[in-house]
Structure 1
């Protein structure tokens, strides 16, 4: 991997006591690799002394790039800021709480050198609370793997290695940094994982809670929608709409049957309301599908974005 340069990307939020030890460990590992590198530390609107520590560190080490965000945007936007500023060929994000071990970086790079495009860390012996953190994480990883079709044991591990060309056009929102391997798979990337060391937190407090799990579930729904219906939203909205209209039609027939053969008045049952409700839902869903189709076409055509990705060409003339 010596012909490549590395960009280590570290989002930070209230981690002032971890900055210097983390930098020292990174220097110890990267200094032995004879590989050009840069360390990008993103201060995500910290309220402690993180900003001051980063300024001092940047003055001491010119290979440390510091990005200060105006407020706390969250881990994903902070990581996106680091990715946008990265100049290396290989991007390695990691947490700033000293729970990821920089000594695992050569292991990730070695796996990357086998021909993979994304190597994800797997915290086999995770040093977190078994019920509050580990159990929900295992359940979430199982669900994400099943729904996405990209089978990884540990989506939540920030320590990963990416070839820059794979994720250079990826835009991240919400809590979607953990889904980068899924985005990369859409681009035709080869994804794998390796076991990495996980240390217990020594300084500071965890920023993760049950609200993060809820956000991840909602973002997973978005990812699944983008994967399956981004270029054909009418298939989802229209399909639901047609089913609703069909149910409305069946309820209407039942309503007529009861009126003719059972002498039941229309107002004696809730069927007229059910028919109206399902018909309106179906109509609105089909209408939403049409709007989504227009938006999708506007997105691709206004920016000249193709609906396909070319891997290689032969004897093809480039277009200006």
Structure 2
């Protein structure tokens, strides 16, 4: 496969139980590429669908030679699907979009020009007008506001599935867990700072229903904490755990020494004194010392894990086209 000429664009489409929308989506991508004189590859990543999605993909493969596909043995999640799609991508510009037809392939030419002509490393879609229930729109607004405040990246819609990347960007980042929401943050961490945004068309869902529930908001904020922590201390966890552990150890140790010294001074001068073991502050100080040591050891363990862990996750793929 490496001997084949690289296409102009790669379109990575993670999907889960989207059999009805796939024929229309692939035909749409093919039409946009043909109208704009672009060679392309469409990489469909079936995230362990339980419907007939893979059967549909096999049928589409006969009609569209530019179609490639990866099928997971079980449902790993959108981040895993994007990770494997990025590994397989070869196009000069790589696009991601959802398979539910809410993202429009008609945006591809303009976003490609932003990458090639305007020098952006990543262009994120902005669903300025959303065709989603209010129960999804308002939590999403608050989530995006929080992500902007924490990351400093001025994007309106971090979680928009429609994005465009230079090929070197997708090869440099590692999308894992639920981090697909924070790909712009991961890209900036990798050194790609030319991040732009384009208002894109958002369409109402035509088939089926959303595969994401309210639990994604909880996961989103937990992941935001994780990616913020990793951006600052991912390479040197000792800076965080060691500093906090040292502070607690010194605070607890100093308090313990002060309590004992105060008792000895009162004892030497014949003053009334309170037994050390009867003072709650003494136990708090001891607890601080113990926690300080544990945090310091956690920093050491984090450094060891950093040195010996693999740089890549692996997912079980049992089908390819």
Q: TM-score, normalised by structure 2?
A: 0.86
The answer on 1:153 being equivalent to 2:163 is no
The answer on 1:207 being equivalent to 2:211 is yes
* Alignment-derived partner of residue 289 in structure 2: 279
Q: Which protein has greater RCO, CA pairs closer than 8 Å, 6+ apart? A: 2
* Alignment-derived partner of residue 273 in structure 2: 263
Alignment partner of 2:244: what SS?
helix
* Alignment-derived partner of residue 220 in structure 2: 216
Shift of 1:199: 0.9
Shift of 1:250: 4.9
Question: What do the CA deviations read for 1:20-64 (whole angstroms, capped 9, x no partner)?
Answer: 121222222221010110111111111111111111111111111
Q: Separation in 2 of the partners of 1:118 and 1:198?
A: 19
* Alignment-derived partner of residue 181 in structure 1: 184
For residues 1-320 of structure 1, the aligned pairs below 5 Å read 5-112=8-115, 113-130=117-134, 132-189=135-192, 190-252=194-256, 255-256=259-260, 259=263, 260=266, 263-298=273-308
Shift of 1:221: 2.1
The answer to whether the 8 Å contact 2:122/2:163 transfers is yes
Q: Separation in 2 of the partners of 1:293 and 1:174?
A: 21
Shift of 1:4: 6.5
Q: What RMSD in Å do the two structures reach over aligned CA positions? A: 2.1
Shift of 1:81: 1.5
The answer to whether the 8 Å contact 2:125/2:200 transfers is yes
Q: 1:266 to 1:102 in 2, by over 3 A?
A: same
Question: What do the CA deviations read for 1:145-193 (whole angstroms, capped 9, x no partner)?
Answer: 2222222110110100000112213221111122221222123321110
Question: What do the CA deviations read for 1:200-238 (whole angstroms, capped 9, x no partner)?
Answer: 112111111122122222222221222111232211001
The answer to whether the 8 Å contact 1:174/1:215 transfers is no
